Structures are given as C-alpha cells and as structure tokens.
Structure 1
C-alpha cells in the first residue's frame, strides 16, 4: 500500500482526528477528498527570523544568522527571505558551509550544494531518489542549459507546454537518457529549483535562473559565446547574468569579449584622442536633424553596454540608453554639450578599462606560454 493510500485510509477510519500533510507537489493532493489545500504566504523578515529560531541548529548559529538577516544581509539577498523554502536553504547553507558568502555568486553555488546534498537530511530515514539518475555535475549541466533556453525566451514563468519545450532543448545538448518527466520531477521535487503553481512553473528565485544561465554561457566558445553575451545584453540593466559570466571566468571573458571591443574603440574610433563630439557620434550616432545623419554601429553599442553591465560602470546602461533617446530628438543638436558631459566619464572608464584588461590578458598569456 502506498503512503498516499495509508493516509487516506487513516482519515476515513479516524475522521474526527485532524491531520495536516505537508508537501511540495500541490497537484497530487487535488484529488484527495476531505482535504483543503493551503499555500504558504510570502514571509516577512520577522517571520523568517521566527523560522530560523525554530530550526534544529545550535542556538549560537541561530543568533549569528538572525543578526546577519536583520543587520548585514546584502540587498540582493533580501528576496530570499520571502520564501520559506529559500529561508531553509539559507539556514542549511549557513550551518553546513559555516558561512553566508557576501559574494552572490558564491552564495548561489553554496545554495545549490545545500539543495542537492543536504535538503531533507534532517528527515530521518527518508532519502529522495534522483529519478533521472544524473550525477550532480550532469544535473548541473542540464539545468544550466534549461535555464539558458528559458532565460533567452524571457520565460521566468512557464506553462506545461513551454516547460517540456525548454526541457527538450536542454536535453538535446547533452547525452542524457532520462525522460523529460524524470528530469522535471528532479527539478521540482528533489532539488527544489523549479516550483509548480497550478498549471504554471517558476523558479524558486530568479537569481537561480540567472546564475545557471551564466554557467551555460561561460561553457560556450567562439561565436556562440559572443552571441550569447549579445543576447543577454538586452536584460543586462535589470539582472545579473553578465556580471556572473565575468565572475565565473574573468580571464576568458576579458580575453574573448571585453578586450576585442575595447580595442575597436581605441583603434577604429580612437577614443583616447578624439573629441567628445566624435565620441558621442560613435556611440549614439549624429543628433537628429543633421544632414545625412548616421546611426551608431549597433554591434559596438551592444558590446559596450554588455561591458558596462559586467563591471557595473557609471554611467550605467540605463544612463546610456537615456542619452540614445535624447540624441534621436531634434533638440539634441542644441544640447550637445550636455550629452558630451554625460559621456565624459564613460570615455574615461573605457580608456582605463582597456589599459587594465590589456595588462591582465597579456599577463595570463605570458603565464600560459610558460606551460606550453
């Protein structure tokens, strides 16, 4: 007899005995007669602290984590506190790794480790079976491809049809024999990286999608690597993908992407010697109303915006896009000095970054030459 049948038989036999069943697969319970389904609301900070206080970890660890949550947690982590599951992951990460990294990339890696190995470890006598039979590294490669194909389709939430399409695309890139159903089960139930809400599926936190997508991009090479960065630039002002790409493999990102575009600026546009008006025309095109107005090189524009996002430069991508909009209006020709002033810092950033990256790439090249 299955556990489900045992529970339902118990309720039938002892109908006056209240019973609460906690689980993740909400759709599995919809056919249970006599049960009402309740969902946990988003947590407040106080509720997160209460959950930490009730967790089965030493009090000294609780006190440290509560102090961290109330006083020291980086702003980028605050979204984790709204989800009971993610607060649990935070507890596991802090207690098992004995730290909560201030580096978002490292924290997400630690969180994945906690979800893969340690979630449910406190549930004595119960171990989850990985239906896909993938190892941790194999699952990570699959999930990275899944996150990338859904990210580039701009799908943070997806229906059943979309889910299977994304799983199929991700599976086609890897030598995986597992069925789509088993892969989906592992994502949802075993690793808890994908949540189901009725007929829709969404990520436990959007940062997981961005983190694993960045891992997929970093695994590419040549033209595919460049193209993936170009595609990620569209959302770079509002997410972390390109910053993760740089942090995951800074040597590769600077050698294959950052330095080439900065060299174009230096050699083709001569930004270290040109006037600010010339720099403005190179980046934004000539102001509206100019005879024979030329548009900027769109590929150069996209690459430079990607660089700005990777290094969190100021002016930001949004600032540059605002200037682009200004340059399209006729009055822009009369406010050229204002636009030039805003671009002054940008040009200095690019010149300084070119020098720093050139030096780093050369140093790595020299080191590689020593080892053949």
Structure 2
C-alpha cells in the first residue's frame, strides 16, 4: 500500500533561484568552449568575438524560454521550474523520461512529440531547450512554427528561420560558419507547434522540415504537434506521445501552483481522495487540472461534461476574484454581462479557428474585435476595452511579446463550437463539408467533439449524413473491395508496433491507410469517433498480422537500418507483393475487416438520422450575412 501523499506548501522562490543558478552556472562554465568544435578555426580575435556572441545568445534565450505566462500567471511570466512537472514520452510500449534531454536524444536524430491539447507540449519543448544548455554540448534553437503563418509560401525557409533566430538573439554568424556548423551537427533544433501552421502553409512547412533535416542530418530535430495523419509519411522520424500526469504528478503540480492557500489545500485533499480517480481525463491534463482548481475554488465541484467544464471555467474566470491579489474583484471594462461578452468572444473564436489563426498581432486582434463589434451593434463597447478584458480580466488571451495567443487553444475550439450552434443548418452543413475536405485536424482537434456534445442529433443529420450517403453509394456499387479502398485511400501502410499488455511489452503488426479522399475519410473517422464506435470482433486480425509481418521482414532484409518500415505502398505494388507471398485479394480484404466494420457502423447512423432532415430556417442567400 502506497504511503499517503500529504499536502506541503512549496517554496517557489527557492525552486526558481536554485534552478536559475544551476542553469547560469552551467552556461557560464561551459559556454563557447563547449561548442567551438562545431565551427571552423578562428583567429584569436574572431574566437573571442563569436564566443562572446554565443554566450550572449545563451543568456538571452535562456531568460526568454525559462519563463511563461499561463492561465494562473497571466500578468507576470513565471519560471517554468517553479511549477513544471516533467512528463514522460511513450514509445513502443516504453516510457522515456524527459527530465534530462540526454534520455530523449537516445531515441534518435529525428523525433516527433505528439499529444492532445493542454498536455504540455510547448512547455516540454522549452524544458528540453533549457536542458540542452545545461546537459549537452549542442546549440539549442527553439522555433515556433506558427511564425510562418504570416509569410508567403515562397518566403518560408527553415534554414533562414533558424539563422534568424540565432541572429535575433545576438549570435550572428557569417553564412559560411553557420552552414559549416549545421553540417557538423552542432544543433538541437526544436520546432514547436506543427499543428498550428495554417492549412495553406502546411505542405510548404512539411517540405522545408524534411529537406532541411535531410540536408543537415547530423543535427537533432524535435517537433511537437497534435496527432495528425500527415506524420505517417515521415518515414525517418520516430513518433512519441506525451504521457498524461500521474496522480502523484498532478498532486505535485497543484502543490506548486501559486494560488489561494486555503482553496488550494481543499482542492488538493479532494484530488488525492476522489477527484483524480473520478476525473482522470481532466486531472491528468495540466491545463484541465488548472481549470479544475479554478472551478473547484469557485463552485466546490467539477462538471461531468467537457463542454460544461469549459463553460464553468469561463464563468469562473469572468467573475473570479484574483487569487493572487488579496481577493481584489476585477471589473469588466466593457461593461458587458457574462453572456454578452461570451457571445462576442465566441464569434472571434469561430472566425479565427476556421481561418487557422491561433495567434494575433496587435493589429490582427483589433481587426477581429472590430469585426465582432460590427456583427453585434447592440453591444456597446470599445475595441480597447474588449482587448483589455480579454487579456487582463477574463484571461482568454495572453500577451507574449508583441503577439497575443489564446491562454489555450481548447478555449478557442469550445467557443468556436458554441458559435457554430447559432448558425443555420445550411451554413453549418456547407461550412463543415468544406472544412472536412480541407482540414487534417478534424479528428485530432476537440472542436467536433464539443460541437457534437452541444447538438448531437444535428451534427449527425446535417454534417455527417450527406457524406455518409456518398459512402453508402460507393459501397453499394463496389462492395467491400480493393476498388472501394482505392476511392478513399492513397496507399497501404504495413508496419510493426509495440504496445503494453498486462504491463508487458509485446510486438504487433498492423495494416493502416494513407488518406486520399479527405472529405469521405474524415466523415468516416469522425462518425465513428463521435458515435462511440466499438468493434470487439477480432475477425481479420490474424490475417492482418500475417501480411504486415511478412512485409516488415522482407523490408528489414533489404534495409536493416530502417527500424520502422512505415513507408506507404501503392495498391498496385501491394497486389504484386501479395501474389509473391501467396496471399490472395480475399486474404487482404479479410485483414481489412476492421475498415468494413466502420462502414457498417456508419451506415446504421445514416439509417437512423438520414431520412428526415432538420428543417432549414433560412435560405442559402443568407450565408454571407451569417458569416
């Protein structure tokens, strides 16, 4: 039996000062001497000059990346080590510790770090940056990929962006030295937020990452993102997933947060007793755990539903007393009531979400507020007051340097879904059909789950059923066949994976597909996700393992260095492979029974919801007015 965990106030100041002192000592004592080998020989004068620039770079970037603003610490950035909990990375059934970047570097030279919203990917990247300074002989560069959203595709360059990051922070090199140091492998390059790149920039950014990392392959690349099917084709990148907080970590995080002590103590006690076990999906996520603390302090209870969770969190933030300022009650400068403010904010979230805009310049934010102001002329407020309320009173946005970002994207997704519900059926149907056709984030984001929880029948009827009808027509004309699969998928992925079963690491083999018809694939996946598809039938699993394991074994003989063998196979090449190894088309279709099970499940949803459409209140001509 575990020893009980006892609440104990944390001396955050000591943690900050000790950590900062250790980092500074490490940087000061190693500095230029540690990384000079990655550069050509310099004259004594050049070495002193560039060495000073490097040490300045470490000092500036260390200061910049060691502090952040959060939902709790929204005014003054806090040192991350005063409250950070080092989460693990899961890979092939193993847990990789991240407290020291050296353990992460053992994974390989090209690493993907994926995780859901709020799990702590960005702060992990900052921690790895700082750990690189302290523990290694590499030059760390942290680049936020959303910075490319403001560029033309022709101007996007990882090579130039990394150089600009170095230069902007005082480490200016002649291009020949910069290129030479890249060729020598002197860098750990951390690329944060691939999922925050706008859709029209994604292909270019992906190409840049692959090209840059291939050309300068001696460096280490760590990329963070929400999960996306685009990574299936990144054959030489190892994908890891961020692990949730354990109960012990969740309690430790709460213990560290600066908050009203009596409220925090009560929450800590209940979290230890029942709340973590009852609300594990919330309490194991750092962002949601923070919101739990806020809502618990206000209501002494936690909502069961994720939508209610965000709704109550917003109401708490709108009305809350400042937990760090002697219960000083903040006023709302706009004078808007909670519902009015929420309506305007929902509109801003809706427009920015579908534009793929997760960060704003001062000008862009004012434009969004002015747009909302015009949309709701009965609500009287100034742009300046609404901007101040968003950042200081309600804390939905955080100012970070010269830009503004959501305190977390989950808020943007929830309020975008909330505003979507106000649109007519025609508008919702057409907007989301287009989005399904363009977006790679339909399944990974929480937007559709939140919209479904707000209006489940309507989502099934007006959003999913039109696509399901097209799927049914294809299925009826082709049956479950290779031809049908070709209509939806670009190719097949046969691969080996590792997983935990009864705490033991076991090997398995799977068949998966690359997406071709994005609209219909998104319809199929999201229908199953939202309607809680569950297929306990193990039919086809044995055959899929036989085919996939045969493919992996053959590829390993041809290319022993490739551990993962997840490159896609086109259907024509697959047919040749199957015939070569005495598998029939029927064998392959049997191995893909799990896909057919999803078709059949989805058609039951179509049968239930597709006959009587919801009456449409407005004509298509009103779409422009609505948007």
When normalised by structure 2's length, the TM-score is: 0.43
Aligned partner of 1:64 among 254, 270, 277: 270
Q: Is the 8 A contact 1:105 1:244 kept in 2?
A: yes
Inter-partner Cα distance in structure 2 for 1:223 and 1:54? 48
Greater percentage in strand: 2
Q: Which position in structure 1 is the counterpart of 2:484?
A: 279
Q: Is the 8 A contact 1:52 1:62 kept in 2?
A: no
SS in 1 for 2:474: coil
Q: Which position in structure 2 is the counterpart of 1:369?
A: none
Unaligned runs of 5+ in 2: 1-71, 86-248, 493-514, 536-566, 579-584, 615-627
Aligned partner of 1:258 among 455, 460, 464: 464
SS in 2 for 1:351: helix
Inter-partner Cα distance in structure 2 for 1:296 and 1:23? 44
SS in 1 for 2:262: coil
Backbone CA RMSD of aligned residues: 3.8
* C-alpha spacing 1:200/1:363, structure 2 compared with 1 (3 Å): same
* C-alpha spacing 1:71/1:161, structure 2 compared with 1 (3 Å): same
Matches within 5 A, 1:33-72: 39-41=78-80, 42-44=83-85, 45=249, 46-51=252-257, 55-57=261-263, 61-67=267-273
Q: Residue 182 in 1 paired to residue 223 in 2?
A: no
Offset at 1:199? 1.4
Offset at 1:248? 1.0
Aligned partner of 1:133 among 335, 351, 357: 335
Offset at 1:95? 4.0
Offset at 1:113? 1.8
SS in 2 for 1:64: helix
Q: Which position in structure 2 is the counterpart of 1:334?
A: 576
Q: Is the 8 A contact 1:271 1:279 kept in 2?
A: no
Higher relative CO (CA 8 A, sep ≥ 6), structure 1 or 2? 2
Inter-partner Cα distance in structure 1 for 2:258 and 2:308? 21
Offset at 1:306? 4.1
Aligned partner of 2:600 among 337, 351, 357: 351
Aligned partner of 2:298 among 84, 96, 102: 96
User: After superposition, what is the alpha-carbon deviation per residue over 1:274-319, rounded to whole angstroms, capped at 9, x for unaligned?
Assistant: 13223213322699xxxxxxx965543443344355446589xxxx
Q: Is the 8 A contact 1:280 1:339 kept in 2?
A: no
Aligned partner of 1:228 among 424, 431, 442: 431
Inter-partner Cα distance in structure 1 for 2:277 and 2:441? 30
SS in 2 for 1:326: coil
Offset at 1:78? 3.9
Matches within 5 A, 1:1-372: 24-25=74-75, 39-41=78-80, 42-44=83-85, 45=249, 46-51=252-257, 55-57=261-263, 61-67=267-273, 73-75=279-281, 77-80=283-286, 87=290, 89-120=291-322, 126-175=328-377, 176-230=379-433, 231=435, 233-266=439-472, 268-271=473-476, 274-284=479-489, 299-311=519-531, 326=568, 328=570, 331-334=573-576, 337=585, 340=589, 343-356=592-605, 358-359=607-608
- Greater Cα shift, 350-359 or 132-141: 350-359
Q: Is the 8 A contact 1:146 1:170 kept in 2?
A: yes
Inter-partner Cα distance in structure 1 for 2:360 and 2:261? 33
Offset at 1:62? 3.9
Inter-partner Cα distance in structure 1 for 2:425 and 2:280? 35
Q: Is the 8 A contact 1:158 1:201 kept in 2?
A: yes
Inter-partner Cα distance in structure 2 for 1:182 and 1:339? 62
- Greater Cα shift, 124-133 or 214-223: 124-133
* C-alpha spacing 1:53/1:113, structure 2 compared with 1 (3 Å): closer
Greater percentage in helix: 1
Alignment: residue pair count:
312
Offset at 1:144? 1.2
SS in 2 for 1:146: helix
Offset at 1:251? 1.3
Q: Is the 8 A contact 1:147 1:210 kept in 2?
A: yes
Offset at 1:240? 0.6
